[in-house]
Amino acid sequence: MAARGRRGRRPRAEPDPHSLEMRIGEVRRDGPTSEAYETVVLATSRGDVEIRYYAAARASGGAVFVGGAGGGFDTPVRGWLYPRLSEQLSRDDRIACLRVRYRRPSDLAECTLDVLAGISFLQSEGVESVALVGHSFGGAVVVQAAAASPAVRTCVPMSTQTYGVEPAAELSPRCSILLAHGTADEILPHRCSEYVYQIAREPKKLLLKEGARHGLDEWADELPGILRDWIRAELKRGD
């Protein structure tokens, strides 16, 4: 398997033409555990990518979840959104899910390659269409990965930054985009998502939650259902 991507745009006048390539060699799997996921390590030409894999029998659709620049298995909404969604989608909707741990947090190009490696792994498991969900810095990561991978049918940046999101203008019509942001975001103002919505083309949707801060804790009651419904519908649309 190989994962390819372009560097995120740097804040300079001329474009950066340099491309990156990651080759996936050995895939190390821990096997079933007491958790809902299996730990999988993708040994690549650029280092190991650790993922948490929520398998689903005969899944043709998959979802990849990534956090912000802090790294680890970061997740918004009180630290439980991604694991709960992954369990629910894989168990009830036959959508295989991955949570990806960045090798080099805050490096947009390298993190994008990590997501592309995750997509390649899902494809090796039989998945044909993919949804990408990213929070904060991860919003730009999933936009970059969506632009680079034809398998991606929808992209969900939440509380996103604007640096690196320019490829959102290129996603239509293959890939839809759902943006979610809180109006009280203390780190990245909601105008960041409004900018992405402005440059993106249909199909697209922007949701703003009054009073929600960067971590979206205030959206805990509604956001999981919104994302689940969106991912299911958009993966089905891509069939």
CATH of the domain at 144: 3.40.50.1820
Q: Is residue 14 part of a domain?
A: no
Q: Is residue 13 part of a domain?
A: no
Q: Is residue 133 part of a domain?
A: yes
pLDDT at 3: 56
- pLDDT tens figures, 173-230: 999 999 999 999 999 999 999 999 999 999 999 999 999 999 999 999 999 999 999 9
Query: What's the number of domains the chain is made of?
Result: 1
Q: Is residue 56 part of a domain?
A: yes
**Residue 179 sits in which domain range?**
2-8+20-237
Tell me the residue length of the chain: 239
What residues in the chain have per-residue pLDDT under 50? 1, 4-18
pLDDT at 35: 83
Q: Is residue 15 part of a domain?
A: no
pLDDT at 239: 65
pLDDT at 19: 74
pLDDT at 34: 74
Q: Is residue 158 part of a domain?
A: yes
- Four-point Cα dihedral 169, 174, 180, 183, nearest 10: 30
Q: Give CB contacts under 8 A, 24+ apart, made by 187-191.
A: 187/136, 187/159, 187/214, 188/136, 188/159, 188/160, 188/161, 188/214
Q: Is residue 212 part of a domain?
A: yes
Q: Is residue 229 part of a domain?
A: yes
